[in-house]
A and B are shown apart, each in its own frame.
Chain A
Amino acid sequence: MKQTALISMHRKYQGKLIDFGGWELPVQYAGILKEHHMVRQKAGLFDVSHMGEIEVKGDGAEDFVQKLVTNNVKMMADGEVIYTPMCYPHGGVVDDLLVYRYSPQHYFLVVNAANTDKDYDWIKSNCPSSLACSNVSSQYAQLAVQGPQAQEILQKLTNDDLEQIEFFHFVPAMQIAGISCLISRTGYTGEDGFELYVAPGQAEQLWEAVLQAGGEEIAPIGLGARDTLRFEAKLPLYGQEIDQDINPLEAKLGYFVKLDNDDFIGRDVLRQVKENKPARTQVEFVMVGKGIPRSHYEVQKDGQKIGWVTSGGYSPTLDKNIGLALIDNRGYKNGEQIDIIIRDKPVAAQIGEGLFYRKKTKPKSKA
């Protein structure tokens, strides 16, 4: 199994280590629910070093990255970050990622751990010879500090004013606890917070400094709570809400698909999908009957299969069993009843909107 630079920290803080897509990472420390509430109420520290980083450099990098992804890269300023799907020509999703713009000649792409090799191959196979595309994943450890107190805690470790970093912006090299970090106001929890990219050799020192600065106000958080936090905030997970066979319009990610952009891979198909309306659509639902909806459970309407649960579970903050489902796009309305098939039995659920946790992230000042 691959290990991150923080493996000895996970052991020190008694994380319960599991095999997560080939990485030895903690599923929990104090317990998923406790950790979940800690991030919503105070702050949490995550090791997300398994995420992949791919760099694109050279004249024409802007055009190339724009060709790769569905969101609008050309609208970005230096120091800005965007979330975007990256699609195949047929509209299915290669991965969803963050694009960091250093300059129009230099982009930093942060991709899902399990997709890093696939993404790198895909990007390289599309990369013109005039550009340098490199997989720099091994050069970075990544720590996420998330929660309402994230800024206050990190501020103790730097002289720079963190308030100046707007949501979805970054600073390429800020000294945090005397360690040079790429820092962005981003995350995967629905809370305010930061992600710090650091040389692997300094990751432990940074980890300890952040925990010390936070004291009782911060705790290490495992992958279990990372998933419940992202799910409850309705943030998509590759392999569940989206994958190579689910296009971003079906997954309700149309906001991140700018169809009037310059050409990008998948644009023509996605334009058609939009014109004809997607054949399937993602809906939110809440359980009415007793049971916990889980990923891949079948969804029925009047005894007929209409789709499946992409993510589902117990929402610790809302104290409800909720889910996301990808179902046939037949104009189902809010309040309409569907059945989730749990252990071969239909259990009632209700389609709705706004059922999920309202994100507390800080919106950008500009539109």
Chain B
Amino acid sequence: MNIPENLYYSNEHEWVRVEGENAYIGITDFAQEHLGDIVFVELPEPDTDVSAGEQVGVIESVKAVSSMFSPVSGTIAEINEALEDTPELLNEDPYQNHILVVRMSDPDDLDALLTPVKYAQLCEEEERGGK
């Protein structure tokens, strides 16, 4: 299981990379592995405001539909349009392919996220719980 050191993580298996006021957000290796072959990504409208925990998209694999939540509050600055035609990028390299960028309104949101060590524990627990 690949869990890069320089990222923040959410309980919903998203990663966050901070560049200035921008939060690049994607799904983790654990998430893509569990979803299986991803065949569709529904992206939000740019320039809309989101609150931490709000649904911002949908990721569909061959078998499953799963919601994606924004781990931080702010304004959607960018979406990764390449995913509309090539959603499989999320399987191929989940950390090099972000899904959206949120211009953060409250950087304190980051404090609520998980460190790589904590996130690794979460994955282990979920693995053991058979989920």
Contact = CB atoms under 8 A, between A and B. Distances in A.
Kindly state the interface size class of chain B when it binds its partner: 10 to 19
Interface string B13-40: 0000000000000000000000011011
Interface stretch (B56-64, B96-104, B117-125): B56-64
16 contacts: A27-B63, A32-B63, A33-B37, A224-B62, A224-B63, A290-B42, A291-B42, A292-B39, A292-B40, A292-B60, A294-B65, A313-B62, A314-B40, A314-B62, A321-B40, A343-B58
A32 B36 contact: yes
Given A292-B60, A294-B65, A343-B58, 15 more contacts: A28-B36, A32-B36, A32-B63, A33-B62, A224-B36, A224-B63, A228-B62, A290-B42, A290-B84, A291-B40, A292-B39, A313-B62, A314-B39, A314-B40, A316-B62
A228 B36 CA distance: 14
B16 to A, nearest CB: 25
Contacts of B63: 27, 32, 224
Contacts of A228: 62
A31 B84 CA distance: 21
Nearest to A32: B62
Contacts, number: 32
A272 to B, nearest CB: 39
A27 B65 CA distance: 16
Contacts of A27: 63
A291 B60 CA distance: 9
Nearest to B91: A31
A292 B62 CA distance: 9
Interface in A317-333: 321
Interface of B: 36-37, 39-40, 42, 58, 60, 62-63, 65, 84
Contacts of A33: 37, 62
Contacts of A290: 40, 42, 84
A294 B39 CA distance: 13
Contacts of B62: 32-33, 224, 228, 313-314, 316
Nearest to B39: A314
A126 B105 CA distance: 70
Interface string A286-330: 000011101000000000000000000110100001000000000
B127 to A, nearest CB: 12
Nearest to B34: A16
Ranked nearest first, the 5 interchain pairs of A and B with the lowest CB-CB distance are A314-B39, A33-B37, A32-B62, A292-B40, A292-B60
Nearest to A28: B36
B35 to A, nearest CB: 11
Contacts of A31: 36-37
Contacts of B39: 292, 314
A313 B37 CA distance: 13
Nearest to B63: A224
> In the complex, which of the residues B36, B40, B62 has the most CB atoms of chain A within 10 Å of its own CB atom?
B62
A72 B94 CA distance: 54
Interface string A223-254: 01000100000000000000000000000000
B11 to A, nearest CB: 22
B81 to A, nearest CB: 12
Contacts of B65: 292, 294
B33 to A, nearest CB: 10
A316 B58 CA distance: 20
A333 to B, nearest CB: 28
A361 B36 CA distance: 29
B64 to A, nearest CB: 10
A343 B57 CA distance: 11
